[in-house]
Structure 1
Amino acid sequence: MASGVVQIEPLWRALGKERAKALPAFHAFTGADNTGRFSRIGKATWLQIYLKADRDIINALQMLLDEAEVAEGMLSTLASFVCAAYSPKGINIETIPELRWHLFCKHRAESDKLPPTLGALKQHILRVHVQTRVWAQAAIALQDPQLDPLHNGYFRDSDGMKPTTTEVLPAPKANADVNLIVLLEDVRAELMT
C-alpha cells in the first residue's frame, strides 16, 4: 500500500477559496459514511457538477458548516443542485417533483433511479448539517453547542439512532388507498377462479 503526504494547498488554490471552504459540506452532502448518499450518482459526477455550480449552491453548502439552522432557501438551492445531477443531458429542470415526474414518464425510471423526494432530501440535508457542524468545529476548544441529531434527520429506536428517511408520504394517502383496493380486488378475483 502506498502512503505519503497529499499537499492540500495546490488543491485549495485550484478550487478557489469559496469552493474549498464548502468542500467538507460537499463531501457530506454527496455521500459520507454517516450521512447517506444518492442512488446511482457517484463522487466523480458530483465533482463535475460542483465545479460548475453557481455561487448560490456554494453559499448554501458553506451555510451548512456555519449556520445554526437549515433555512428554507438552503433546501431549495440544494434541491436545484440535486436536479443538476439527475437531469438528463440537455434538459434543465429546477424542481425535484418536476424532475421525478419527467424521469418517470419519459424514461420509465425505476424508483431507485429517481432523485429523492423533497421530504427525503430535507432529512438528508439535516443529517449533513449535523455532520458538517461537527467537522467545522473539530479544531475549536470551546465549541458551539452541537445540533441535536433527534431534531435533525435522525430518530431513536431500540437499536439506537437511525436516519429518518422522510416525514412526508411518498404519494398521497388517497393513491395508496386506491392501490390497496385494486390489489384486494385482484386477489379476490384470483381466489374466485
Structure 2
Amino acid sequence: MQLVVKESKQLVVTDKKQVLTVPPRKDTANLATCNHEEADTRMMVLAADALECGHRRILIRTVDTDVVILAVALANERSEVQDELWLTFGTGKNRRYIAAHQVAKALGPEKSRALPVFHAITGCDTVSAFAAHSKKAAWATWNAFPEVTTAFLSLASTQSELPDGVLSTLERFIVLLYDRTSTCCDVNVLRKKLFSRKSRSLEHLPPTRAAKEQHIKRAAYQAGHTVSGDRPQ
C-alpha cells in the first residue's frame, strides 16, 4: 500500500529518533536526529521546521496547556520575522483559537522566555504543583514579584549548578505564593508561622526548604528540555 499525499502537502511522521516524510525530503536536519520523547516538544520541532521552510502561518491543534506554553516561547523566538503561530485549543463548544505570536508580543521577550520555566515550577505534566495554589494565583504572584523573572531565565539557561541567588529568589517567590503579605524569605519559617498562627492544615503549608530545592531542580531539568523544544537533540 502506497500513501499518496496531495501536491503542495507534506506528511511528517516520527519514527523514534528519526522522521519519515511523504514525499521524501533530502534535508531533514531540522527534524532528526531527535531524542524528544514528549509529543509536546516534538510538535515544536515540527513547527520550527515548517517556519524554516518558509511557511509564515502555522496552526497547531491541541488540548494540552503545555503545548500552548511552548508555542508562546517559540513564537517569541520568531518575533523578528513576523511569523504567525496559531493554536486551536479545547474541544467541542469550548474550542477556541489562540494567537501565540500575539500573546508573546503582549508578554514581551523576557516574560515569554521565562514562561516555560514558570509553568514547570508551578506544575506541569512532569512536575508537581503547589497544593491549593492555582496557576492564576501563581501568575498574580509573579506580577507582584517581577524580580523572579531573572531567576526563571537563569533556570532556562539549563546550568548544571543553580546559583544561590536564584534559589533564594525562588524561595521568596514561593513564600509570597503562600502568604502575599509575608516579609520572610525562609519557607521553613513561614511553615511554622502558618501552622502555629493561622491554623493551616499540613497540605496547605509550603514545602520544606529541602523539598523546595528538589522541586526546583526537577523543574530546572524539565525546563532544560522545554526551552530547547524547537530543536532536535
TM-score range, shorter chain: 0.5 to 0.7
Q: Higher RCO, 1 or 2 (CA under 8 Å, sep at least 6)?
A: 2
Partner of residue 51 from structure 1, selected from 136, 143, 159: 143
Matched, 1:34 2:163: no
Deviation for aligned residue 1:115: 0.2
Alpha carbons of structure 1 residues 109 and 18: separation in structure 2 relative to 1, 3 Å:
same
Whole-Å Cα distance in 1 between the matches of residues 158 and 165 of structure 2? 13
Residues of 2 paired with 1:79 and 1:9: CA distance? 31
- What's the counterpart of residue 204 of structure 2? 113
Query: Which whole-Å CA distance do the structure 2 matches of 1:23 and 1:91 have between them?
Result: 25
Say yes or no: does 1:139 pair with 2:230: yes
SS, match of residue 6 in structure 1: strand
Match of 2:95 in 1: 3
1:82 counterpart residue number: 174
Match of 1:91 among 174, 182, 185: 182
Mapped contact 2:168–2:185 kept (Cα < 8 A):
no
* Corresponding residue SS for 2:122: helix
Which residue in the other structure is 1:129 paired with? Answer: 220
Shift of 1:116: 0.2
Q: Is the 8 A contact 2:120 2:223 kept in 1?
A: yes
Matched, 1:19 2:111: yes
* SS class of match (1:13): helix
Could you tell me how far 1:4 is from its partner in structure 2?
Answer: 4.5
TM-score by length of 1: 0.67
Residue 108 of structure 1 deviates from its aligned partner by 1.8
Moved more, 103-112 or 90-99: 90-99
- TM-score for the superposition, normalised by structure 2: 0.56
What displacement does 1:101 show? 1.3
SS of the residue corresponding to residue 105 of structure 1 reads helix
Q: Which runs of 5+ in 2 are unaligned?
A: 1-91
Find the aligned partners of 1:51 and 1:111 in 2 and give their Cα distance: 27
Give the 3-state SS of the residue equivalent to 1:5 in structure 2.
Answer: strand
Q: Which is richer in helix? A: 1
Matched with 1:63 is 154
> How many aligned positions are there?
140
AA aligned to 2:132 is: R
Misfit runs of 4+, over 6 Å: none
Give me the whole-angstrom Cα distance separating, in 1, the residues matched to 2:177 and 2:190. Answer: 11
Structural RMSD (CA): 1.6
Residues 90 and 125 (structure 1), Cα distance of their counterparts in 2 relative to 1, 3 Å cut: closer
> 1:91 & 1:66 partners in 2: Cα distance?
30
Stretches of structure 1 lacking an aligned partner (at least 5 in a row): 144-193
Calculate percent identity across the aligned residue pairs: 28
- Structure 1 match to 2:52: none
